[in-house]
Structure 1
């Protein structure tokens, strides 16, 4: 049976996302340093989403942009890897947020 071409790219993104988690994210390891992954706007909006304030459309757009950077593609009509691919991207974005956005976190 032939797989759709989009499935292969999702699988590749998932493998890379999970590889980043397997390296030791949250356990003293980390994603290879390639510069910041999140913009200051994304950091600010992700911090705002972690509060109880009603989210804005801009904050949702920033969250989606960060998830896409982490390898999640919400466009496939049928995603056999959902929700695992979304959860892997969320874990990676959470790691980036913790390591790159300390200045944006309320505290």
Structure 2
């Protein structure tokens, strides 16, 4: 019976890969929105004309909330997926950006 050197050398890589998969399922514990996103999203709630940077912050936050603006025009989940992500972003704005909330 021949010795298989490939198995021993790939075992540590397999353990690291599986550990990463398990750790990937853990919920994210930190803030979801950056201070810039908090500021820009709060500014979008006013009647002031939005800037391109504010729109980019909004899109970044929506993507973090799971929205994927597909390049295809036949998304069967639109606008439900966008509205669900918007609710998540609104929740994050309320819970993570209290310092920007009035009074």
TM-based fold match above 0.5: yes
Residue of structure 2 equivalent to 1:94: 90
- Any gaps of 5 or more consecutive residues in structure 2? 1-26
Q: How far did 1:75 drift?
A: 2.2
Residues paired across the two proteins, number: 76
Residue of structure 2 equivalent to 1:74: 69
TM-score, normalised to structure 1, is 0.67
Counterparts of residues 23-34 of structure 1 (less than 5 Å): 34=29
Q: How far did 1:69 drift?
A: 0.1
- Any gaps of 5 or more consecutive residues in structure 1? 1-31
Residue of structure 2 equivalent to 1:44: 39
Larger radius of gyration: 2
- Greater length-normalized contact order (CA 8 Å, ≥ 6 residues apart): 1
Give the SS at the match of 1:42: helix
Residue of structure 1 equivalent to 2:79: 83
Give the SS at the match of 1:97: helix
* CA RMSD between the two structures: 1.3
Structure with greater helix percent: 2
TM-score, normalised to structure 2, is 0.69
**Cα offsets for 1:3-40 (capped at 9, x unmatched):** xxxxxxxxxxxxxxxxxxxxxxxxxxxxx661100000
Q: Which runs of 4+ in 1 moved over 2 A?
A: none
